Structures are given as structure tokens and as C-alpha cells.
Amino acid sequence: MEETKVKIGIIRVFILTFLMIGTTTLSACKDKNQTAENQETQIEEINNQEESSIDSDIEDDYSIEPIDAEAYLSEIGEIQEQYDAASSEKNMTEKEVLDMLSERGFGDYPVQTNYFLDGEYHDAEEISQESSEKHPIYETYFVSADESVWSISVINGAVYANPIMYNFQEDLKVPIVISETAYMTSYDNVTNQFFEVILDDSEILLKVIPRIDAESLEKLTIEEIDKL
């Protein structure tokens, strides 16, 4: 078997975004008395930890078999559709994403991306209103009036919201993601493919609401998420 140094795509990013925020951030998120300045520091910590984790995976010398994204996603769910990222008509430009997120009330924090449209990884960069360039994944944050922190992801035009503090509950068995569809969009940068997957509830519990925007997330306290 040929040894391969693998750069992992959305299988890694997907887990980082929705499941693996670091313990330092966990403590910060649980503090209900944060100031606005502390919230910004917390979000910066989230970004730094995600970047450090991805960088260490890419830069560390280790050898594994290349991950078959299609096979992996088939194990944890049912693939509904598969698209080439470079030609997908659903994918959005930087300007389109910024306009869409702003219209939804997600304009307080920078929107960043870590991948070029050909699947090449790069350090997190803030996107621009003047740019027509497309990327497979966009990330930003939203802080509600009760100081709950959400990570917001746009993947092939689909919007997802991760209730970070909710998913840090010690007795939570399966993390929750808020979606507008019954499927989760994933991205594999090795094959440069998007996958629309109905995930097993044992992996991630997808909670579907009509529209993800600031108004709807403001209403989704921990108690209200439990009712979904």
C-alpha cells in the first residue's frame, strides 16, 4: 500500500465545525456573564483552534490510507445527491454569500473561508463584498441577545447553524445542527465533491426549521431547541 500524506476535507472540517470546539472555548461559552469584548475574544479563540487543528493535520508527518468520502458518508447516512464543487450551480460567490447572510441578520462578524474552489486548502481569509470568487464553504458566527454563540456555515448554498453552547452540554449524547433541509451538505476537498446526506441520528441530529436567520435563532434557547 502506497503511503499517502492526506489533507482531509469536509470530513475533518465538518467535525471541527459541529463537534470539536476546544475545551478553552467550552469554558468561555458556559460563562453567562461575558461582555461583548469577551464574546469577540471567544469567537477568535474558536477560529484559532479550528485553524490550528486543521494545520496540524496537514503539516504533521503521518501516513494513512486516503479517506473515501463517499464510503464514509454512506456508513453514517444515506447519500441523496453528489455534485462537482467547481461546476455546482448552487454554490455562491463571496458577494452573494455576504448579501445573503446580511439579509438574514448575520452581519456582525467576518465571514471566512479555508478552501479555494478547486479544493486547495489555505489559511482562513475574510471574504469581500467586491469579489465574485466562489468557495465551497463559508463560516461566520452569531451571538444572540442571551449571549448564546452560534457558528453559521454556508456549504454549496445551504445554510446550517450550530448551537455551540447547547452542544457542550455534558449529558448530550448526539450533537444537534439546525438546518433548513432534511439533509446535511458535506464537502470533500480531495475529490472536490459536495454530498447531500441524510445522516443517521446516532451521528448528528438535524433539526429542521423553515428559515435560519437572526430572528429565528434568537428564539432558539436551549429549552426551545429541546422542543424541536
Q: Between 51 and 173, whose confidence is greater?
A: 173
pLDDT band at residue 182, thresholds of 50, 70 and 90?
very high
Dump the DSSP string for 151-210. Answer: EEEEETTEEEEEEHHHHT-TT-SS-EEEESSSSEEEEETTTTEEEEEEE-TTT-EEEE-S
Instruction: Sheet containing 193-199: give its strands across.
Output: 77-84, 193-199, 184-188
Q: For residue 4, is it within any domain?
A: no
Phi then psi dihedrals of residue 66, to 5 deg: -55, 135
> The domain containing residue 207 runs over which residues?
10-227
* Distance (Å, whole) CA 113 – CA 26: 23
* Distance (Å, whole) CA 4 – CA 16: 22
* Distance (Å, whole) CA 176 – CA 172: 9
User: Count of domains in the chain?
Assistant: 1
CA distances from 73 to 67, 68, 204, 225 (A): 11, 9, 12, 26
Q: Are 142 and 133 in contact (CB under 8 A)?
A: no
| Chain mean pLDDT for the chain | 79
Name the pTM for this structure: 0.77
Overall average pLDDT of the 22-48 stretch: 45
* 117-124: long-range contacts, CB 8 A cutoff, minimum separation 24: 117/85, 117/86, 117/91, 118/86, 118/192, 119/9, 119/85, 119/189, 119/190, 119/191, 119/192, 120/189, 121/7, 121/54, 121/58, 121/189, 123/51, 124/47, 124/50, 124/51
29, pLDDT greater than 50: no
Q: For residue 113, is it within any domain?
A: yes
Q: Between 54 and 228, whose confidence is greater?
A: 228
Overall average pLDDT of the 16-20 stretch: 36
24, pLDDT greater than 60: no
CA distances from 34 to 27, 149, 219 (A): 11, 11, 20
Overall average pLDDT of the 38-54 stretch: 54
189, pLDDT greater than 70: yes
Q: For residue 1, is it within any domain?
A: no
Residue 138 cell numbers, joined = 463559508
Q: State in Å, rounded, how far the first CA of the chain is from the last one.
A: 47
Q: What residues pair up with 205 in beta bridges, in sequence order?
A: 176
Q: For residue 37, is it within any domain?
A: yes
Question: Dihedral sign, CA of 110, 94, 152, 211?
Answer: positive
Q: What residues pair up with 187 in beta bridges, in sequence order?
A: 194
